[in-house]
Amino acid sequence: MRLIAFLLCLTVSYQSKSIEQSYDKTRNQTVTATEAIEIKLDNVLLTKNFTLKIQCVADGAIMFRRPESAHLVFRTLSHRWRFLEESEREAILIVDDVIFRPSTKPLYTSVIGEKFLDETLNYEVKMSDLEKMVDKSKIDVKIGGVSGKLREKQLSKIKEFLDTLPRT
């Protein structure tokens, strides 16, 4: 019991400015994630907040081995316009002119507020694919009619996150 408490303390205390880690006691899972990374949109009229978060989930109070998969979590706030839902939820990532399509069946959630709509698309990808992507200089993101860019500054946050994960 002391060991579990100690590991939980280590897990909760390890949070850098750009990496979040939390333990869900009821599910016995640790979630490690990047901070929200802003995607620079090509058309600024669509929304002001379009972000990407990379997450990994592991069983137990601490992540002992490198996960085989990660989650690309796209999130947007808009004024009650469901453009992620209407996009047929297909994401295309163009990595240095090479097209990569994450899973075709992402998890979609939305929260409707009085004056806003918060939409989330969650795609599962292989860790090896994610590692190949971040070594490139740019990634173009397209989801339906929405397109944006991740440049070296944003990709460095993902690289930092991957460096914190245990090696296999």
* pLDDT tens track for 6-56: 344 444 434 445 788 888 888 888 888 889 888 887 765 555 678 899 999
Sequence-ordered list of residues with C-beta below 8 angstroms from that of 112, at least 6 positions apart, any chain: 80, 118
Residue type, 81: W
Model pLDDT for residues 132-162, shown as the tens digit of each residue: 888 888 899 988 777 888 888 888 888 888 8
CA atoms within 13 A on the CB side of 123: 21
CA distance 53 to 73: 5
CA angle 53, 94, 96 (to 5 degrees): 110
Q: Taking the model in full, what pTM does it have?
A: 0.79
